[in-house]
Amino acid sequence: MRTASIARETKETRIAVTVELDGTGTFDISTGIGFLDHMLEQLSRHSLMDVTLKAEGDLHVDQHHTTEDSGIALGQAVTKALGDKTGICRYASVMLPMDETLTRVALDISGRPYLVWNVAFSRSKVGDMDTELFREWFQAFAQNAGLCLHVENLYGENNHHIVESCYKGLARALREALSIDARQLGMVPSTKGQLGD
C-alpha cells in the first residue's frame, strides 16, 4: 500500500499528516482555518486519497504559517508515499468547471517542482481566509510533492468557485497522475530511469 505519515513541528506550527494514495477519498482534517479545511477535504475526496491532517498553528499572528506548512507537510507525505514512482501515469491535465467558473490544471510528477499560477481574485478574502494564501499553499504543495504544476483560471466571477475549482482540478489531476499504469508496471516513467534529477 502506498501510504506515508509526516510529522512537522516548528516554532510556528505543529502538523501531523497521513496519506493513503490508493484510498477512497476519506478524510479527517483540522487546521483551525475553516475554508482551508473545506478545500483540503475537496482535495481528498476528488483525488481518492485518504488524508488525515491535524494542524496547530500561530493563528493569533495570521493564517500564513498554518496554510503554507500544511501544504509542505501534505506534499512531503505524498512524495514519501510515492517512493520511486514506479509504474505511475505521471502526467495529467483537467478542465474543471464549477458553475460560471472554468479552471485548467496540468501536472507532471517529475520530482522537479515548479508552479505556474495564473489565478486572480476580485476580493481579498474568501470566508475569513486571505485569497493571497491560496498561491502560497499551492507553491508549498508543489515544491514538496515534486510537481511541475500549472493552474490557470480561464474565467469565473465567484471567488469561492474560483479557488474551489483549483483544488478540485488539482485533485482530479492527481487522481490520474498518481494511478498505476498497467502497461508499465515495474518501470519508472522516464527515459532516464528515474524521476527527480
Q: Which residues pair with 17 in a beta bridge?
A: 6, 53
Find, among 164, 45, 27, 174, the residue nearest to 96 by Cα.
Answer: 164
CA distances from 104 to 121, 144, 187 (A): 16, 21, 29
Domains of the chain: 3-184 (3.30.230.40)
CB 36 within 8 A of CB 53: no
Sequence-ordered list of residues with C-beta below 8 angstroms from that of 72, at least 6 positions apart, any chain: 8, 140, 141, 143, 144
Sequence-ordered list of residues with C-beta below 8 angstroms from that of 153, at least 6 positions apart, any chain: 101, 102, 103, 118, 119, 120, 162, 165, 166
Task: Say if residue 83's pLDDT is above 60.
Answer: yes
Q: Which three cell numbers stand for residue 166?
A: 483549483
What is the average pLDDT across 144-168? 98
> What pLDDT is stored for residue 189 in this prediction?
59
Location of C-alpha cell 515548479: 114
Mean pLDDT (the chain, rounded): 94
Q: Which three cell numbers stand for residue 13?
A: 506550527
Query: pLDDT category, 191, cuts 50, 70, 90?
Result: very low
Q: By mean pLDDT, which of 1-5, 50-54, 180-184 is the weakest?
A: 180-184
> What pLDDT is stored for residue 181 in this prediction?
84
180 CA to centre of own chain = 19
Phi, psi (5° rounding) for residue 100? Answer: -85, 0
Query: In terms of DSSP H, where are the helices of 14-118?
Result: 34-47, 64-82
Query: pLDDT category, 187, cuts 50, 70, 90?
Result: low
Q: b/e string for 34-57 if b means 16 or more Cβ within 10 A? A: ebbbbbbbbbbbbbbbbbbbbbeb
Query: pLDDT category, 84, cuts 50, 70, 90?
Result: confident
What is the average pLDDT across 183-196? 63
What is the average pLDDT across 38-64? 97
CA distances from 174 to 56, 60, 88, 156, 180 (A): 26, 33, 11, 23, 12
Predicted confidence (pLDDT) per residue in 98-135, tens digit:
999 999 999 999 999 999 999 999 999 999 999 999 99
> What pLDDT is stored for residue 145 in this prediction?
97
